[in-house]
Structures are given as structure tokens and as C-alpha cells.
């Protein structure tokens, strides 16, 4: 589909084992168009609380690993639930570690949302990520409201979204934007 392989790094805003946000990211992994691959970050829950005193030479190794994965990626996918009308603390903590570094500015980003609710967190994510100079590709936004559904209903919705091209379509638009802007 695209000229060169595109590597996407997916960040999940929920640490829950049965997270619907992560399930959506896993479904996107299976729906990748040719030439596109997705790795899901498993470091967010292991990051220490952000402290500007621990930047530079004192940066914790796990933060360096996280930042190195972000640097390698051609684009990021974020799937994040709403907690108390905002961004979950653990996820905001991960973003805070990236604010003063040089990995994220102008990095293309796709938002994938797993709930029919959560418009407040989508607005806050947009504000925060744009403040960090990430490039949110609006055209690639994808919403599949599996949150609150039974396991079977989630599986059926995800399968349908794979079969009707909803997932691959969003990824294709995202990959195309990356390919043409590189
Ligand atoms: C502490 C907490 C606060 C929440 N606050 C909100 C909220 O303000 N608005 C909302 O729509 N959902 C809220 N929810 C519901 C979650 O956004 C919803 O369950 C979401 O699907 C969880 O994502 P996950 O399945 O990826 O973990 C809250 C859930 C928790 C645990």
C-alpha cells in the first residue's frame, strides 16, 4: 500500500487487564494494511512519577527505553479512556516524561477511541498532544464503542469492524499521511 514499511507505536491509556482501549489497539494490530505494523507499548505502567529533577543525565532507564521506542516509530496511536472527565493520571504521567524531549514534536498521531462516551478526554488529549507539538491526523480518527459491552459483543463488533474495513481504513489514511509527509 505504501512505499516503505511504516512502524506505529500504540499507547494505551488504561492499565486494566481487560481494557477495551487495549483491545481496540490489538484489533488494529490484526487489521494492518500491507507494509504497516503496530507494537503496543507495555512500559506505561512501569514509568516512575515524572519529576523534572530526573531528566537529562538522571533520566530513569525505563523512560529512556520508552522514549527510544517513540523515536523509532513513524507514528503513534493513542487509545485512552476518560477518568473523572480527564486523562488518566498514569497516562498523563507518561506524556509528561516526553514533554521536554525531542522525540515527539511533529510525530504523526492517530486517536482511536473505544467508547461512545469520553468526549471530554478526547478534547483534553487533543489540547495536550497539540501543546506537545504532536501532529494529530484528524482524518484517521477512529471510534468503535466497545466499552461497556459483553466480551462476546466486543468480539463481534471488532470482527465486523475488521471485515467492513473500518479499522484498516483508518490505518490506511494514517499511513498515507505519514508516507506523503515524510
Ligand atoms: C476512575 C474512573 C473514572 C471514570 N470516569 C469517567 C468519566 O468521567 N467519564 C466517562 O465517560 N467514563 C468514565 N469512566 C469509565 C471509563 O472511561 C470506561 O470504563 C472506559 O471504557 C475504561 O477504559 P478501558 O476499558 O480501556 O479500561 C471512569 C472509569 C474509572 C475507573
**Pocket residues: Cβ below 6 A from ligand 1:** 14, 16, 19-21, 81-85, 114-115, 117-118, 147
Residue 81 in any domain: the answer is yes
11-52 pLDDT, tens digit per residue, is 999 999 999 999 999 999 999 999 999 999 999 999 999 999
Residue 104 in any domain: the answer is yes
Residue 25 in any domain: the answer is yes
Neighbouring residues of 126: CB distance < 8 A, sequence distance ≥ 6: 111, 136
Average pLDDT, stretch 101-108?
97
CATH number at 32 reads: 3.40.50.360
Residue 153 is part of which domain span?
6-181
Residue 174 in any domain: the answer is yes
Tally of domains within the chain: 1
CB 34 within 8 A of CB 6: no
84-101 pLDDT, tens digit per residue, is 999 999 999 999 999 999
Residue 1 in any domain: the answer is no
Distances (CA, A) of 19 to 40, 60, 154: 13, 27, 11
| Centre of ligand 1 from the C-alpha of residue 21, in Å | 10
Residue 168 in any domain: the answer is yes
Amino acid at each position: 500500500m505504501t512505499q516503505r514499511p511504516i512502524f506505529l507505536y500504540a499507547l494505551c491509556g488504561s492499565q486494566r487487564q481487560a481494557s477495551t482501549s487495549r483491545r481496540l489497539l490489538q484489533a488494529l494490530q490484526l487489521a494492518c494494511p500491507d507494509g504497516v505494523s503496530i507494537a503496543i507499548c507495555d512500559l506505561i505502567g512501569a514509568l516512575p512519577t515524572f519529576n523534572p529533577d530526573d531528566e537529562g543525565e538522571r533520566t530513569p532507564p525505563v523512560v529512556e527505553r520508552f522514549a527510544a521506542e517513540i523515536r523509532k516509530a513513524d507514528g503513534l496511536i493513542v487509545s485512552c479512556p476518560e477518568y473523572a472527565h480527564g486523562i488518566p493520571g498514569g497516562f498523563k504521567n507518561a506524556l509528561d516524561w516526553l514533554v521536554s524531549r525531542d522525540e515527539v514534536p511533529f510525530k504523526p498521531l492517530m486517536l482511536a477511541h473505544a467508547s461512545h462516551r469520553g468526549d471530554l478526554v478526547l478534547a483534553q488529549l487533543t489540547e495536550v498532544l497539540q501543546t506537545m507539538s504532536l501532529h494529530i491526523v484528524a482524518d484517521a480518527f477512529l471510534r468503535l464503542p466497545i466499552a461497556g459491552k459483553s466480551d462476546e459483543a466486543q468480539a463481534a463488533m471488532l470482527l465486523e469492524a475488521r471485515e467492513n474495513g473500518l479499522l484498516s481504513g483508518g490505518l490506511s489514511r494514517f499511513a498515507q499521511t505519514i508516507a506523503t509527509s515524510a
